[in-house]
Amino acid sequence: MTRRARAILATACGAHFVHDGFSDILYVLLPVWATEFGLSFAQVGLLKTLYTGGMASFQVPAGLLAERRGEARLLAAGTAVTALGFLAAGLTGGFLALLACLALGGLGSGCQHPLSSSLGGSSSAVALYQLGSRKETPAVTKVVTSVRTTICRRRAQMRSQKGASATT
């Protein structure tokens, strides 16, 4: 494998890791958003559906667009759009804005699978690319869950300290 081919494969694996990490993090964030915004189960399902639906619906158009504009360029743009969608989701103040952010993130993620697969080239490279997210993304979810748990514990401690100081 040439140096250029290894660099392309590393980039495709990295994009796969990032995009699958975003998808996996949703399972950690959905209960947080449900609590923060008082969402019903149907609303939480709609959030996940819009993200996944956006991702699925943009895969074929992304492939067609990449044939005209180039896979690497569109893969980078799709990754940036996904990141932007998740960053904006963290700043939203309501359900409709959250829906829009996740739909945007899903559209960006729709670029990753078809484009990274085509960049891989050989069968062994595509196999390595597919493996690129299978072992690492559970680690991303564990780290995010640990951080979330720590934040929730600290908030609970701060609330209990405020309550104790208010009664004295």
Sorted by where each starts, the structural domains of the chain and their CATH numbers stand as 3-167 (1.20.1250.20)
List C-alpha distances in Å: 165 to 152, 156, 161, 168: 20, 14, 6, 5
Average pLDDT over every residue of 131-139? 52
Q: pLDDT, tens digit, for every residue of 110-127?
A: 888 777 766 655 444 454
**Residue 146: pLDDT above 70?**
no
16-19 long-range contacts (CB < 8 A, ≥24 apart) are 16/112, 16/113, 16/116, 16/129, 16/130, 16/132, 16/133, 17/132, 17/133, 17/136, 17/137, 17/140, 18/79, 18/82, 18/83, 19/79, 19/82, 19/109, 19/112, 19/113, 19/133
Average pLDDT over every residue of 73-100? 91
What pLDDT does residue 112 have?
A: 83
Task: Kindly report the pTM of this predicted structure.
Answer: 0.69
Residue 94: count of CB within 10 angstroms of its CB = 9
